[in-house]
């Protein structure tokens, strides 16, 4: 919420009443601090107003020339002209370097307009730098406005640094009055559209992480926590900016790393460069606890075509279940079926991890989780040693046969059949399966034990991978 005060030096109050105002505050504070360092001192104040902790500042501090210089400093090498300036600091250049500099000087429409007929030739450095300085604000504005990963990613490009508009300048909030005003209004009356806009919303891009998938954490308990959380989140994301992974897994991985400063329910705003809308994710305490169980989500990088138009993306499936507090039984069953069908041994490794996570996520329904973990480890060891015994007997075909039978039985929830198969295998392999008594009591409740046994019933798997020994699963 924005409040104007009369006869006050700090005539504007901004309160983080919803995410747009929170993000504007984060962007504004960075702008004010930049001005403090580079120009005259501008002392915004943190202020408590009507139960909210916000900021107070002078509206006169928000000027277009200052804003553009801040944008240039903030995004740095996102601007072609800065790359050219950096190379022009030398006194000598190779032919290739001159070519590169001219490439930078014609990197977009506004630069082409200025430098297409004023190329750098190795001897006109002062002329080029003079043109850059003379046209700097125009270059910054047009580059910032139209570059896909900058202002264009977040806002309507036609509304940059306009004071107030009938509709919010943010993408997904903006309305084309000529086409959609009646459809989005109450009972088709265009005069009843409720909207808000302010020039401070132009500072929202600076609050998001500078990544293809931008994130903003609306931790608006107070201004200090709002700033600190987003700064920490930004640092984590910037470290691994170049990694290629799904949007959801990017968020998931960084939420894991953010656990030290995100220890409560939180709202996260997501803006993709590919879509003209913002997404909102509410990360609840239970979801955060689930997230911490994942440790290294990269191991779940697995895709499989289940139908003509449907691919199972394990990372995405895991993320959705994590956010919605869903256990993994059906996912594990699907993977076991794929394992039998395609003989993909890596699935055993995945399933073993998923079993451990599944037990953690079942915390609310498992009375003695520690004992269940013990039984699961017993089952893994039994599965591993069973496979080794049958391998010594040159009966690898029996391993495959029993895996198929057990997988089929557990997928169809035929736990009597599961018990029957395990007793047959126990006798054939000359083993002692102490874990089966839990299955006799309640096969459904203890199906993770069966999952663990099946995933370890592989003659090719190493012992530490099957039994959690020496740093394994």
Residues 88-113 pLDDT 10s:
999 999 999 999 999 999 999 999 99
The runs of H, that is alpha helices, within 16-171 are 19-38, 64-75, 80-87, 95-105, 109-115, 125-134, 136-146, 151-154
Give the C-alpha distances (Å, rounded to integers) separating 163 from 166, 167, 197, 388: 11, 12, 8, 74
pLDDT at 361: 80
- pLDDT band at 227, cuts 50/70/90? very high
What are the structure tokens assigned to 323, written together?
Answer: 């956010």
CA atoms within 13 Å, Cβ hemisphere of 266:
25
> What are the residues facing 304 on neighbouring strands?
312
Among the listed ranges 178-192, 208-222, 326-340, which one has the minimum average pLDDT value?
178-192
pLDDT, greater one: 19 or 362:
19
CA atoms of 415 and 143, how far apart (whole Å):
65
CA atoms of 322 and 300, how far apart (whole Å):
13
Farthest CA pair distance, the chain:
93
- pLDDT band at 363, cuts 50/70/90? low
Residues 34-89 pLDDT 10s:
987 666 677 899 999 989 999 999 999 999 999 999 999 999 989 999 999 999 99
pLDDT at 258: 64
What DSSP character marks residue 422? H
Q: Which residues contact 187 (CB under 8 A, 6 or more apart)?
A: none
Residues 318-341 pLDDT 10s:
888 877 778 899 999 999 999 999
Count H helices, E strands: the chain? 21, 9
Long-range contacts of 275-278 (CB under 8 A, 24+ apart): 276/171, 276/172, 277/171, 277/172, 278/170, 278/171, 278/172
Q: What is the mean pLDDT of residues 179-187?
A: 52
Q: What is the mean pLDDT of the chain?
A: 86
User: 104 exposed, middle or buried (CB, 10 Å; 0-12, 13-18, 19+)?
Assistant: buried
Q: Contact, 284 vs 265, CB < 8 A? A: yes
CA atoms of 451 and 351, how far apart (whole Å):
8
Residues 369-390 pLDDT 10s:
678 888 899 999 999 999 999 9
What are the structure tokens assigned to 376, written together?
Answer: 């699961």
């Amino acid at each position: 919420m924005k409040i104007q005060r009369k006869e006050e030096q700090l005539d504007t109050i901004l309160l983080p009443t919803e995410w747009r105002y929170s993000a504007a505050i984060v962007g504004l504070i960075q702008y004010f601090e930049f001005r403090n360092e580079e120009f005259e001192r501008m002392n915004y104040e943190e202020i408590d107003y009507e139960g909210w902790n916000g900021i107070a500042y002078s509206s006169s501090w928000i000027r277009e020339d200052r804003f553009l210089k801040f944008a240039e400093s903030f995004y740095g090498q996102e601007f072609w002209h800065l790359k050219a300036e950096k190379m022009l600091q030398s006194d000598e250049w190779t032919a290739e370097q001159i070519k590169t500099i001219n490439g930078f000087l014609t990197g977009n429409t506004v630069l082409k307009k200025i430098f297409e007929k004023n190329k750098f030739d190795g001897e006109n450095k002062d002329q080029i730098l003079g043109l850059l300085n003379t046209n700097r604000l125009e270059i910054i504005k047009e580059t910032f406005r139209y570059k896909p990963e900058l202002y264009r990613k977040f806002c309507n490009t036609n509304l940059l640094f306009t004071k107030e508009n009938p509709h919010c300048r943010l993408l997904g909030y903006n309305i084309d009055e000529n086409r959609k005003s009646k459809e989005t209004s109450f009972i088709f009356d265009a005069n009843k559209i409720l909207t808000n806009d302010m020039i401070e919303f132009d500072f929202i891009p600076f609050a998001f992480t500078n990544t293809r998938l931008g994130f903003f954490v609306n931790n608006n308990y107070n201004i200090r926590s709002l700033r600190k959380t987003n700064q920490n989140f930004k640092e984590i994301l910037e470290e691994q900016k170049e990694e290629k992974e799904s949007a959801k897994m990017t968020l998931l991985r960084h939420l894991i790393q953010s656990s030290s400063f995100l220890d409560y329910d939180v709202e996260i705003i997501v803006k993709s460069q590919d879509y003209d809308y913002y997404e909102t994710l509410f990360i609840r305490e239970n979801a955060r606890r689930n997230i911490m169980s994942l440790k290294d989500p990269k191991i779940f990088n697995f895709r499989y075509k289940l139908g003509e138009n449907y691919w199972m993306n394990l990372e995405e499936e895991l993320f959705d279940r994590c956010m919605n507090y869903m256990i993994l039984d059906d996912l594990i069953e699907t993977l076991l079926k794929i394992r039998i069908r395609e003989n993909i041994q890596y699935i055993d490794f995945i399933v073993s991890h998923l079993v451990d996570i599944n037990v953690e996520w079942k915390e609310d329904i498992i009375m003695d989780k520690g004992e269940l973990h013990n039984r699961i480890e017993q089952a893994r060891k039994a599965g591993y040693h069973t496979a080794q015994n049958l391998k010594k007997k040159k009966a690898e075909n029996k391993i495959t046969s029993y895996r198929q039978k057990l997988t089929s039985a557990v997928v169809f929830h035929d736990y009597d059949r599961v018990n029957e198969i395990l007793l047959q295998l126990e006798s054939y392999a000359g083993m002692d399966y102490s874990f089966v008594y839990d299955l006799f009591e309640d096969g459904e409740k203890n199906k993770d034990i069966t999952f663990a046994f099946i995933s370890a019933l592989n003659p090719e798997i190493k012992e530490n991978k099957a039994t959690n020994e020496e740093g394994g699963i």
